[in-house]
Amino acid sequence: MAQAQAASQNDLRNDFALLIDGELTVGAGHLDVINPATGKVFAHAPAAGRVELDRAVAAARRALPEWSARSFEDRTQFIKRMAGILRTNQDALAELLTREQGKPIGQAKDEIGRAASQSEGMAQIPITSELITDDAERRIEVRYVPLGVAGIITPWNAPINLAAGPLVSALYTGNTAVVKPSPYTPLSTLKIGELLRDVFPRGVINVLAGGDELGQWMTEHPGIDKISFTGSVATGKKVMASAAGTLKRITLELGGNDAAIVLDDVDPKAVAPKLFFAGFVNSGQVCMAVKRIYAHEKIYDALCAALVEEARKWTVGDGLDAATKLGPIQNRMQYDKLVDILDDTKRSGARFLAGGDVPQTSGYFFNPTLVTDVDEKSRIVREEQFGPIVPVLKFTDVEDALRRANDTRYGLSGSVWSRDPERAAAIAARLEVGTAWVNQHRTTAANVPFGGAKESGMGRTYAAMGLKSYMEPRVISVLKQPL
Ligand code: NAD
């Protein structure tokens, strides 16, 4: 395992603030933030209570008339400045992100670069009104108007990217926002709030750290019109139930149990590095990570061998160490869940191709683990593991592989791999998911809608489809005959 580095890592930092109405402010309490590579508290973040939430919502409402009256072009310029600020501060933000989230520093930089480019991409998508009829008698058009104040609730696996997507969607379409990061990873989002303080008019962006209860208060708050929630299926269901009280619009980006189906004609050595990356990047803590690999019996042994070869290359360690490819699990709760799944998989008699043991350190490290001969009903196949342990399952008949891939309440994404992209595309189109990839996995773009089928979500992010979910369609129907 790579050595942990950076002597200053355990220095307690307190220089974080909430952003409310253009002011940096303390909260009602504080959150202890743990560096998952050490298991120790390294910073404190302010935590908002109901009073701070009310103030943030009131500020966002005050800022709304002026912000929503601006043109799309005008708002695009603000978002370009925001992307510029993310890039200028990429190194410092990446270090902070690695300390609080655990991911290797290179992946942290990639996350920030991606947040910047996706933001710019979204702010170039035209939102136009639709003319339904325009004849001598009548004109009927549909215009899209901002919903109002958006509440944005994010998880701990990619805090910057998963805040930037909904935040830019909300702002570009004329809404104002209150952003709440996960209590496990509040720091980089708070820092971004601070950096954006002088870029946007006061009250347009408000950033509140806080516990789970703050998220719930946001879903209940009568001053919030839309909730964008990214997180687990279980919490997503609570968000939907709670938002029903005020009939808030919701976008739910939830968990997944993505299958990758590998057909009989692939070159296993060429496919293995791509599959491994899609399963293990960010230590598997990615909603659309490959979480089950279904491999045709013809290439099964060769693919397993090539995946094991990949696993050997992925050094586990502190994300600040340049040699690290696999950082720690982000938090103790998730780490304990993975150890439970590991024990359950061992008990079920599965065969371990790689990993299977857990390093004994104070950090939440977990070796890259590949398992086979797994019971299809075992937890590692049925549940979203959200970690660096992936089952490789054998199939003979493509119909059977499709049935097993679809036999889940999840439906985020999936992929099919083949030398023949058209053959693979016909199979991929039958996956019950929001996104079906061929010969790739985990590829998203600002102009392509992303989101889950079944219990993996509600609505879409990105593209005009995602942006319009922050807007209300308003029909203007004009009878042209004078009265
Ligand atoms: P989580 O559901 O525990 O928490 C997510 C956020 O919700 C946090 O900010 C939390 O404080 C808040 N929250 C908790 N209880 C709440 C409540 N009752 N009301 C409102 N907010 C509440 O999820 P997590 O463990 O932080 O994230 C991991 C999950 O997120 C995984 O399942 C992963 O697949 C999913 N995820 C999905 C996507 C996607 O785009 N589909 C992307 C990333 C992560």
d(CA 477, CA 96): 52
Per-residue pLDDT tens digits of the chain, which is 483 residues long: 443 333 344 356 779 999 999 999 999 999 999 999 999 999 999 999 999 999 999 999 999 999 999 999 999 999 999 999 999 999 999 999 999 999 999 999 999 999 999 999 999 999 999 999 999 999 999 999 999 999 999 999 999 999 999 999 999 999 999 999 999 999 999 999 999 999 999 999 999 999 999 999 999 999 999 999 999 999 999 999 999 999 999 999 999 999 999 999 999 999 999 999 999 999 999 999 999 999 999 999 999 999 999 999 999 999 999 999 999 999 999 999 999 999 999 999 999 999 999 999 999 999 999 999 999 999 999 999 999 999 999 999 999 999 999 999 999 999 999 999 999 999 999 999 999 999 999 999 999 999 999 999 999 999 999 999 999 999 999 999 988
Measured in Å, residue 183 CA sits from the centre of ligand 1 at 11
pLDDT at site 13? 77
Query: From edge to edge, which strands make up the β-sheet containing 205-207?
Result: 23-25, 18-20, 205-207, 176-180, 149-153, 226-230, 249-253, 457-458
Question: What's the Rg (C-alpha) of the chain?
Answer: 23
Determine which helix (DSSP H) or strand (DSSP E) holds 416, and give its type and residue range: strand 413-417
Give the ligand 1 atom nearest the CA of 231.
30
Token pair of 265 as six digits: 């004609």
Q: Is 466 in the pocket of ligand 1 (CB under 6 A)?
A: no
Of 114, 127, 215, 216, residue with least CA distance to 175? 127
Give the ligand 1 atom nearest the CA of 256.
34
Scanning 244-397, the segments in alpha helix (DSSP H) are: 268-280, 297-313, 332-347, 379-382
Query: Which positions are catalytic?
Result: 253, 287
CA-closest residue to ligand 1 atom 17: 216
Contact 178, 208 (CB under 8 A): yes
Strands (E), 327-404: 351-354, 369-372, 389-395
d(CA 333, CA 348): 23
The rounded Cα 7 to chain-centroid distance in angstroms is 31
Rounded to 5 degrees, what angle do the CA atoms 193, 46, 470 make?
40
- C-beta atoms surrounding 281 within 10 Å: 21
DSSP bridge pairs for 226: 150, 249
Of 450, 449, 429, 460, residue with least CA distance to 261? 429
Contact 209, 190 (CB under 8 A): yes
CA-closest residue to ligand 1 atom 15: 212
d(CA 35, CA 100): 5
Q: Is 217 in the pocket of ligand 1 (CB under 6 A)?
A: no
Contact 94, 107 (CB under 8 A): no
CA-closest residue to ligand 1 atom 8: 182
Q: Is 285 in the pocket of ligand 1 (CB under 6 A)?
A: no
Measured in Å, residue 106 CA sits from the centre of ligand 1 at 24
| Residue partners of 213: CB distance under 8 A and separation at least 6 | none
Measured in Å, residue 215 CA sits from the centre of ligand 1 at 10
| Residue partners of 209: CB distance under 8 A and separation at least 6 | 16, 18, 27, 31, 45, 46, 47, 48, 180, 181, 183, 186, 189, 190
d(CA 352, CA 340): 16
Contact 356, 336 (CB under 8 A): no
